[in-house]
Amino acid sequence: MKKPNITKDEQARLNTLRSLGVLDTPKEERFDRLTRLAKRLFDVPIALVSLVDENRQWFKSCVGLSISETPRDISFCGHAILGEDLFIIPDTCKDARFADNPLVVDEPYIRFYAGCPLSAPDGSKLGTLCILDCRPRIFDQEDMEALADLASMVERELSAIQQATLDELTNISNRRGFITLAEQSLKLCARQKLAASLIFIDLDNFKQVNDTFGHAEGDRALIAFAEQIKAVCRESDICGRLGGDEFAMLLVDLSEEEANSVVLRLNQSVNKYNQEAKRGYDILFSNGVLQICSDKHPTIEAMLAEVDSLMYAHKGSKD
């Protein structure tokens, strides 16, 4: 048996997947009707919307199986997300990668697999719409086109979910998306005993930019600032626009001192932008930095409240 490789953009892919907040959620008719349709259309016993997490594939929709997930190491979908095209195994028993796979030699005795990768708007492969049979099959061009069409419908539903977690203006996480991602990352930090720091940012004198230069220019400033934040973030970091001119960054495996260094780099990056852009105003910001302590801060909301107060103290010191 061949285990699936890890994707080249794995951390970014996982961040996109988890930002949806869809893992381990109840069944939804909008996905179930598509797997039911796939089952009927292709006359197969099993159809799945499978999302590939770090160590498992989890089924957002499942027709024909009584389980909700399997290990990623034995998944067919783990292989499917490595490419752009449909991943088809006409006869698993004749394929050295899968002939001794537990899902082939034991229940559900998979002999045929066809999966179409599901892509997020940023190109990340989230999982597949796949069909399985307990007998070998030939999958012709018409079949492939039909499966791809159904997969596009699933992608549209996933995209609708993602849009609810993204800030439309800056294209980084909104408050809901940031909190969802932050909660998951902090659980990982707790399990692996990693440090984490939270940065809260508020733009200075932003109302004056809107009043003097207009809201279109204010939007341009917000977009530019979000770009500066993304430029100093690593793939494992999380950034978001919480609302208005407020932003946050969660830095994994960084101490408060290291987080302050990130703020310094952000300040340098913003200053460089101001000098080059020459928009008639400067983007300025105040910030608070909080070393996270799970005992003291049981929820992300409690952390945000404390770091918000630290930010206001910093802003007040400038007056």
| Helices and strands of the chain, counted as H and E runs | 10, 10
* Cα torsion angle, 20, 24, 30, 34, sign: positive
Q: How would you write 152-177 as a 3-class SS string?
A: HHHHHHHHHHHHCCECCCCCCECHHH
pLDDT > 90 in the chain, percent: 82
State residue 7's pLDDT score: 94
Find the mean pLDDT for residues 134-152.
96
pLDDT in tens, 41-89: 999 999 999 999 999 999 999 999 999 999 999 999 999 999 999 999 9
Q: Which amino acid is at 260?
A: N
Residue 168 domain flag: no
State residue 319's pLDDT score: 67
Q: Which of 25-39, 149-163, 284-298 has the lowest average pLDDT?
A: 284-298
Residue 4 domain flag: no
State residue 191's pLDDT score: 77
Q: Domain check: are 156 and 188 in the same one?
A: no
- In this prediction, residue 293 has a pLDDT band, given cuts at 50, 70 and 90, of confident
Domain that holds residue 298: 175-318
Q: Domain check: are 210 and 180 in the same one?
A: yes
Q: Domain check: are 193 and 278 in the same one?
A: yes
pLDDT in tens, 163-204: 888 999 999 999 999 998 898 888 878 877 888 999 999 999
Residue 145 domain flag: yes
> The CATH number of the domain where 188 resides is what?
3.30.70.270
Q: Domain check: are 153 and 182 in the same one?
A: no
Q: In what order do the strands lie in the sheet with 125-133?
A: 69-71, 56-63, 46-52, 125-133, 112-119, 87-89
pLDDT in tens, 92-101: 999 999 999 9
Q: Domain check: are 313 and 216 in the same one?
A: yes
Point out the domain boundary residue: 163, 192, 216. Answer: 163
> The CATH number of the domain where 74 resides is what?
3.30.450.40
Q: Domain check: are 234 and 268 in the same one?
A: yes
Q: Domain check: are 142 and 28 in the same one?
A: yes
- Residue 32 contacts residue 154 (beta carbons within 8 Å): no
State residue 290's pLDDT score: 95
For residues 299 and 96, the model is more confident at: 96
* Cα torsion angle, 69, 74, 77, 81, sign: positive
Q: Domain check: are 154 and 186 in the same one?
A: no
Point out the domain boundary residue: 133, 163, 193. Answer: 163
Find the mean pLDDT for residues 132-137.
97
Distance CA 175, CA 243 (A): 7
Q: What rounded mean pLDDT belongs to the chain?
A: 94
Distance CA 123, CA 145 (A): 20
pLDDT in tens, 301-318: 989 999 999 999 988 887
Q: Domain check: are 60 and 198 in the same one?
A: no
C-alpha closest to that of 251 among 268, 265, 238, 267 = 238
Residue 287 domain flag: yes
Q: Domain check: are 295 and 187 in the same one?
A: yes
- Residue 126 contacts residue 120 (beta carbons within 8 Å): yes
Contacts of 35 (CB under 8 A, 6+ apart): 47, 48, 49, 61, 62, 63, 129
- Chain center to CA of 137: 34
Q: Domain check: are 138 and 189 in the same one?
A: no
Domain count within the chain: 2
C-alpha closest to that of 126 among 140, 136, 116 = 116
Residue 288 domain flag: yes
Q: Domain check: are 72 and 186 in the same one?
A: no
Residue 27 domain flag: yes
pLDDT in tens, 9-33: 998 899 899 988 899 999 999 999 9
